[in-house]
Amino acid sequence: MGRGTTTTVGLRPPVLTLTGGLCLCLAALAFAAVMIGPYSLSPTQTLAALLGQGDRQAEIVVWNIRLPRVAAALLVGAALAAAGASYQALFRNPLVSPDILGVSAGAGLGAVAGIFLSLPVAAIQASAFIGGMAAVGFVTLVASLMQNADRTLTLVLIGVVIGALAGAATSLLKVMADPYDQLPAITFWLLGSLAAITTEDILPALPMVLIGLVPLALLRWRINVLSLGDEEARALGVEVGRTRFLVIAAATLITASVTALAGVVGWVGLVIPHIARMLVGPGFGRLLPVSALIGAGYLLIVDTLARTIAQVEVPLGILTAVIGAPFFVWLLARGRRGWS
């Protein structure tokens, strides 16, 4: 092989080594996140509180406030990154993100409707989940009726249309909402936040995310084949329609679950799979776990900044956009080496 054909594949670290290193980094980040906050704790105090041997106030801060928030950040970041990697592999496009089929817009509309109707928090989260799943279900239904069109392109275009309609309905509800009570809650939710997260909030989302991740892991080889194109996949014996439906359903379930928990958090599912792809290549069996681990750590860092850099809580959506947009521009400037 000549000099002009040298690739960076040989420079990529072994997947098991990288995964183990990422897990250790996640553990260190989680421990640091538990310490950091308005009520700061030393490593000794934090460890004692985790073991139930610290003072009462430290244990309340650690177990009732910070651990649920850290767990939620890890769950949401991992889920959005995994869904983003799945969508990008399925549509063979590195610019695709989890909201491409209108799931975020549908979940946002469902949550805004719940807030507008003054429903309790659990009902608002359920409305967000139902809205996200309904949006993608409608997109899939309409696309299935168009037999002579390119299925992938049709899904994306209809998703854009449904997302625009859901966004318009959301804007209408914001105009009609009480400006002193409902509107601030709607705006804060649409920007994403993990403030006031409790263990009870996380428990409904966790099994949904796990249920969505299982088929993605089992279908990893078929997803690799799908990235070659529909005709090639059919020639290799892959049932393209069924596999595409399963991947979309699983990734949508993951996205809707965590969007109902944390609100609309952008850029994670778009940027993080690029970083993972640069490290381990496009093979989905390697890309999925690495994307999830990096996404978990990234959102944990962002959420820690959100609750510490200012006197008031900074919405996650603002920070992920401020950090993610310039970084994504830098990735584009580097070219598409990570994709191939």
For range 178-192, the mean pLDDT: 89
* pLDDT at residue 13 greater than cutoff 70: no
Q: Which residue has the tokens 């695709």?
A: 96
Q: pLDDT category, 289, cuts 50, 70, 90?
A: very high
Give which of 276, 247, 263, 274 is closest to 335, Cα–Cα: 274
pLDDT of residue 115: 92
Q: Angle 124-156-153 (CA atoms, 0-180°, nearest 5)?
A: 160
Confidence band (pLDDT; 50, 70, 90) for 171? very high
HEC profile of 242-273: HHHHHHHHHHHHHHHHHHHHHCCCCCHHHHHH
Residue range 67-329, CATH number:
1.10.3470.10
pLDDT higher than 80, residue 11: no
pLDDT per position as a tens digit, 209-266: 999 999 999 999 999 998 887 788 888 888 888 898 899 889 989 999 999 899 999 8
User: How many other CB atoms are there within 10 angstroms of residue 1's CB atom?
Assistant: 6
Residue 4 scores a pLDDT above 70: no
* Residue 93 or residue 203, greater confidence: 203
- Distance (Å, whole) CA 66 – CA 15: 31
Structure tokens at 323: 């950090």
What is the pTM for the complete model shown?
A: 0.89
What confidence tier does 12 reach under pLDDT thresholds 50, 70, 90?
A: low
pLDDT greater than 90 at residue 159: no
Q: Distances in Å between the alpha carbon of 167 and those of 114, 143, 190, 249, 320?
A: 15, 20, 11, 22, 20
Mean pLDDT of 109-126: 90
> Would you tell me how many other CB atoms lie within 10 Å of the CB of residue 7?
11
Question: Per residue in 18-48, pLDDT tens?
Answer: 899 999 999 999 999 999 988 889 999 999 9
Query: Could you please report the per-residue DSSP string of 293-317?
Result: HHHHHHHHHHHHHHTTSSSSPPPHH
State residue 287's pLDDT score: 94
- 268 vs 52, residue with greater confidence: 268
Average pLDDT, the chain: 87
Categorize the per-residue pLDDT at 10 as very low, low, confident or very high, splitting at 50, 70 and 90.
very low
Contact of 165 with 287, CB cutoff 8 Å: no
**Is the pLDDT reported for residue 338 higher than 90?**
no
One-letter amino acid for residue 25 of the chain: C
Residue of 129, 100, 125 lying closest to 115 (CA atoms): 125
| Domain residue extents for the chain | 67-329
Chain centroid, CA 180 distance in Å? 31
